């Protein structure tokens, strides 16, 4: 069974600090998605990374896909209180013509004013 492990599980930082969260797989990703989920809402897609070594930037968020496509990181520069939420990585797997979406365990980020 493919697992997605995220670290750290919890993170509490002051506004303005930088942080990195990680997503690791037991096997190679075909592609990987990062989501953010706020309380009482469903997850919202932030980015999809596809190519090993790929780096994507979304304002203050930088997403990196490992060269071997077994790990990914999300770096936030100068965190703001609006960045607070649950960050999830996810990937789609397929076998025998059917599909599953596997989500990571999540990193719960709290940014303090």
Partner 1 sequence: GAGVSQSPSNKVTEKGKDVELRCDPISGHTALYWYRQSLGQGLEFLIYFQGNSAPDKSGLPSDRFSAERTGGSVSTLTIQRTQQEDSAVYLCASSLDLMNIQYFGAGTRLSVL
Q: Which stretches of the chain bind partner 1, using CB under 8 A? A: 4, 6, 40-45, 86, 88, 90, 92, 97-106, 108
Contacts of 93 (CB under 8 A, 6+ apart): 2, 30, 99, 100, 101, 102
> By C-beta, is 13 or 46 nearer to partner 1?
46
The CB-of-76 to partner 1 minimum distance in angstroms stands at: 19
Contacts of 101 (CB under 8 A, 6+ apart): 90, 91, 92, 93
Contacts of 51 (CB under 8 A, 6+ apart): 65
Contacts of 89 (CB under 8 A, 6+ apart): 4, 6, 23, 32, 33, 34, 35, 72, 74, 103, 104
The CB-of-16 to partner 1 minimum distance in angstroms stands at: 26
> By C-beta, is 13 or 102 nearer to partner 1?
102
> By C-beta, is 4 or 76 nearer to partner 1?
4
> By C-beta, is 66 or 85 nearer to partner 1?
85
The CB-of-91 to partner 1 minimum distance in angstroms stands at: 11
The CB-of-78 to partner 1 minimum distance in angstroms stands at: 26
């Amino acid at each position: 069974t493919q697992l997605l492990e995220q670290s750290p599980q919890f993170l509490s930082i002051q506004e303005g600090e930088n942080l990195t969260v990680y997503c690791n797989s037991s096997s190679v990703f075909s592609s990987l998605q990062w989501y953010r989920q706020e309380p009482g809402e469903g997850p919202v897609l932030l980015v999809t990374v596809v190519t090993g070594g790929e780096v994507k930037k979304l304002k203050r968020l930088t997403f990196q896909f490992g060269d071997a496509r077994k790990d990914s990181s999300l770096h936030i520069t100068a965190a703001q209180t609006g960045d607070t939420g649950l960050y999830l990585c996810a990937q789609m797997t397929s076998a025998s013509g059917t599909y599953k979406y596997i989500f990571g365990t999540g990193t719960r980020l709290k940014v303090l004013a």
